[in-house]
């Protein structure tokens, strides 16, 4: 038997009848949508009083944030736990001087993804990479990814990546992008400079969307001519890790 | 860290319920077959397709090119499957599946099916997706690449590597028949 026929029979064995499935799924979406509309109408009736409460709550939050931020700022100044600017920049320069150890892959059959951690994220730690969604434009593909750490990492963290075959650098856009900007591109309605590095720090973590201790959502990009396989190197003070995505 | 493509739709208005039903209904069965082969659990597969359909309801009206609906929807289903498997990862490792599985040793068809399903389940998400789309949904490589958000060349390479893991004794040409 061929692999195709084997695959069909292997999965058809466990497939239940799909009669009525399409109608059931679509109907559930439409029904749920209607109930959401009803909830929206109910919300509209209470929206006036709620918005007043929301305004007061917002004022309270802003005031608390300002006071709290000031206290934290003073505390940090007092304890001086964040490295001084010059020292931090010299650490970044030190990481940028670390040679890239991303291997050259001769054949796609030689390329093995990983290493992975115990939950399937890329990397050997302390910083890991997780996948996300992709968007394309005329230049190439942009991927919305996450880097994360579960323990505090002292100092800057530098991320660099290469196409494993063409050796072209993977580019980064957005708030964590760093290094000299070569070109700019318009993506998702905004014009961004493309940078060759990603510079992270546990104090710039953005925890809005995941439960990891420190998270940096970022966007990387590859041109249309990319090979489909990339190598990543993450350097920090006292560690350096490399992983492949084939 | 390249993953399944979820092409961002453009801005636009809403569509009617009937139009949505007409667009989505033909995609439910392939979506379910994809989810079943990714998750090996009919109930979890239906949940993944249902969640993907909610996503489609929110976004389909804003898609500029509705010919891309099929690869886009299958990509969303694949993402839901990835999340579902992450949630049940702890349960997955307790199965004690061997690292290397032979899928050609068993004579009995049901056993062979079980072996093949286990071997497919041991592949990484991206590899499993390409194998399922190509061999189970019978999609051409170009369409598989569109769902996987990758180039055709990279998708072909991924497929060949996966075949080597599933059937190390078969040549690529034999396996592709």
Question: Which pair of tokens denotes residue A17?
Answer: 């009848």
Percent helix, percent strand, percent coil in chain B, to nearest 5: 70, 0, 30
Q: What are phi and psi of A96, to 5 degrees?
A: -65, -25
For the segment A186-226, what is each residue's pLDDT rounded down to a tens digit?
887 888 999 999 999 999 998 765 678 899 999 999 998 88
Between A60 and B53, where is the model more confident?
B53
CA-based R_g, chain A, Å: 24
pLDDT tens sequence across B3-13: 433 333 333 34
Kindly calculate the radius of gyration of chain B based on its CA atoms and give it in whole angstroms.
17
Both tokens of A45, joined, read: 């009736």
- Is residue A111 domain-resident? yes
Percent of residues, chain A, with pLDDT higher than 70: 76
The residue among B145 and A182 whose pLDDT is bigger is B145
Domain CATH for A201: 2.60.40
pLDDT in tens, B55-90: 888 887 777 676 788 998 999 999 888 877 655 433
Whether residues A108 and A74 share a domain: the answer is no
Q: What angle do CA A217, A224, A219 make, to 5 degrees?
A: 5
> Is the Cβ pair B25, A145 closer than 8 Å?
no
What distance lies between CA A19 and its chain's CA centroid? 39
The reply to whether A189 falls in a domain is yes
Of the listed ranges A75-84, A142-151, A219-228, the one predicted with least confidence: A75-84
pLDDT tens digits, B112-134? 778 888 888 888 888 999 999 99
* A230 and A195 within one domain: yes
Q: What is the pLDDT of residue A40?
A: 52
Query: A129 Cβ partners below 8 Å, 6+ apart?
Result: A121, A122, A123, A145, A146, A147, A148, A232, A234, A243, B1
What integer pLDDT is reported at residue B2 of this predicted model?
Answer: 46
Per-residue DSSP letter, B169: T
The reply to whether A127 and A67 lie within a common domain is: no
Q: Band of the pLDDT at A127, cuts 50, 70, 90?
A: very high
Asked if the structure places residue A91 within a domain, the reply is no
Q: Does some domain include residue A218?
A: yes
Please indicate whether, in this complex, the C-beta atoms of A226 and B17 are within 8 angstroms of each other: no
Fill in the DSSP letter of residue B135.
I
Q: How far is CA A123 from CA A148, B45, B111, in A?
A: 10, 29, 36
Residue A82 has pLDDT above 50, yes or no: no
pLDDT for the residue B152: 86
Q: Using H for helix, E for strand and C for coil, what is the string for chain A?
A: CCHHHHHHHHHHCCCCCCCCHHHHHHHHHHHHHHHHHHHHHHHHHCHHHHHHHHHHHHHHHHHHHHHHHHHHHHHHHHHCCCCCHHHHHHHHHHHHCCCCCCCCCCCHHHCCCECECCCCCECCCCEEEECCCEEECCCEEEEEEEEEECCCCCCCEEEEEEECCCCCECEEECCCEECCCCCEEEECCEEEECECEEEECHHHCCCCCCCCCEEEEEEEEEECCCCCCEEEEEEECCEEEEEEEC
Q: Are residues A109 and A162 in the same domain?
A: yes
> What whole-number distance in Å separates Cα of residue A76 and Cα of residue A69?
10
Q: Is B5 helix (H, G, I), strand (E, B) or coil?
A: strand
Residue A38: per-residue pLDDT? 58
Instruction: Please check whether residue A65 lies inside any domain of the structure.
Output: yes
Question: Does the beta-carbon distance from B120 to A230 stay under 8 Å?
Answer: no
Please check whether residue A221 lies inside any domain of the structure. yes
pLDDT confidence of residue B103: 40
pLDDT in tens, A40-77: 555 545 565 666 667 667 667 567 666 666 665 555 54
Out of A86-95, A110-119, B110-119, B124-133, which region has the weakest mean confidence (pLDDT)?
B110-119
pLDDT mean over A13-20: 89
Q: Domain for residue A90, yes or no?
A: no
CB B42 within 8 A of CB A16: yes
Interchain pair A228, B33: CB under 8 A: no
Given this model, what pLDDT does residue A51 score? 67
Structure tokens at A196: 């060759």
In contact, A164 and A143? CB cutoff 8 Å: no
**Is A89 contained in some domain?**
no
Residue of A nearest to B158 (CA): A246
Q: How far apart are CA B167 and CA B173, in angstroms?
A: 12
Tens-place pLDDT, residues B156-167: 989 998 898 888
User: What stretches of B98-140 show up as alpha helix (H) in DSSP?
Assistant: 109-122, 125-131
Contacts of A232 in chain B (CB under 8 A): 1
Give residue A108's pLDDT.
64
Asked if residue A145 lies in contact with residue A86, where contact means CB atoms within 8 angstroms, the answer is no
Band of pLDDT at residue A124, cut at 50, 70 and 90: very high
Give me the pLDDT at residue A243, please. Answer: 94
Per the prediction, chain A carries an average pLDDT of 82
Q: Give the pLDDT of residue A111.
A: 78
Asked if A108 lies within 8 A of B160 by C-beta distance, the reply is yes
Tell me the pTM: 0.49
* Distance, CA of A167 to CA of A105 (rounded, Å): 10
Residue A73 and residue A177 share a domain: no
Instruction: Quote the pLDDT of residue B97.
Output: 32
Q: Which domain holds residue A195?
A: 103-245
Least confident of A35-39, A126-130, A218-222, B66-70: A35-39
Total domain count for chain A?
2
**pLDDT over 50 (residue A136):** yes
pLDDT at residue number B14: 59
Strand order in the sheet with A157-163: A177-178, A197-200, A157-163, A230-236, A239-245
Residues A48 and A168 in one domain: no
Task: Report chain B residues whose CB lies below 8 A from the CB of A131.
Answer: 1-4, 82
pLDDT band at A13 (very low <50, low <70, confident <90, very high): confident
Residues A67 and A134 in one domain: no
Same domain, A28 and A108: no
Residues of chain B with C-beta less than 8 angstroms from the C-beta of A132: 1, 3
């Amino acid at each position: 038997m061929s692999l195709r026929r084997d695959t069909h029979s292997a999965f058809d064995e466990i497939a239940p009848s799909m009669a009525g499935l399409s109608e059931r799924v679509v109907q559930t979406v439409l029904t749920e949508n209607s109930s959401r509309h009803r909830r929206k109408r109910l919300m509209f009736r209470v929206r006036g009083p709620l918005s007043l409460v929301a305004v007061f709550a917002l004022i309270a939050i802003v005031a608390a944030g300002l006071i709290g931020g000031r206290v934290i700022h003073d505390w940090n100044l007092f304890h001086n736990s964040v490295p001084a600017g010059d020292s931090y920049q010299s650490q970044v320069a030190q990481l940028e001087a670390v040679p890239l150890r991303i291997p050259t892959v001769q054949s796609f059959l030689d390329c093995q993804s990983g290493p992975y951690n115990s939950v399937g994220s890329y990397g050997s730690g302390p910083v890991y990479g997780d996948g996300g969604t992709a968007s394309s434009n005329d230049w190439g593909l942009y991927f919305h990814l996450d880097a994360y750490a579960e323990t505090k990492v002292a100092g800057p963290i530098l991320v660099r990546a290469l196409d494993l075959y063409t050796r072209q650098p993977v580019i980064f856009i957005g708030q964590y992008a760093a290094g000299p900007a070569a070109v700019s591109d318009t993506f998702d309605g905004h014009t961004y400079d493309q940078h060759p590095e990603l510079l992270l720090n546990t104090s710039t973590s953005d925890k809005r969307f995941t439960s990891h201790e420190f998270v940096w959502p970022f966007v990387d990009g590859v041109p249309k001519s990319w090979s489909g396989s990339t190598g990543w190197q993450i350097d920090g003070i006292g560690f350096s890790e490399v992983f492949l995505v084939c | 860290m390249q993953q399944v493509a979820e092409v961002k739709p453009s801005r636009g208005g809403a569509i009617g319920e009937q139009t949505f039903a007409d667009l989505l209904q033909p995609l439910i069965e392939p979506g379910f077959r994809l989810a079943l082969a990714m998750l090996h659990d009919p109930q979890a597969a239906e949940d993944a397709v249902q969640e993907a359909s909610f996503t489609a309801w929110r976004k389909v009206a804003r898609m500029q090119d509705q010919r891309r609906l099929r690869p886009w929807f299958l990509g969303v289903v694949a993402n839901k499957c990835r999340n579902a498997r992450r949630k049940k990862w702890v349960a997955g490792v307790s199965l004690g599946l061997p690292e290397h599985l032979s899928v050609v040793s068993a004579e009995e068809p049901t056993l062979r099916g079980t072996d093949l399903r286990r071997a497919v389940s041991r592949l990484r998400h991206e590899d499993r997706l390409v194998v399922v789309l190509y061999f189970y949904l019978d999609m051409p490589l170009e369409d598989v690449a569109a769902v996987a958000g990758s180039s055709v060349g990279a998708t072909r390479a991924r497929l060949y590597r996966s075949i080597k893991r599933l059937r190390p004794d078969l040549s690529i040409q034999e396996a592709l028949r």
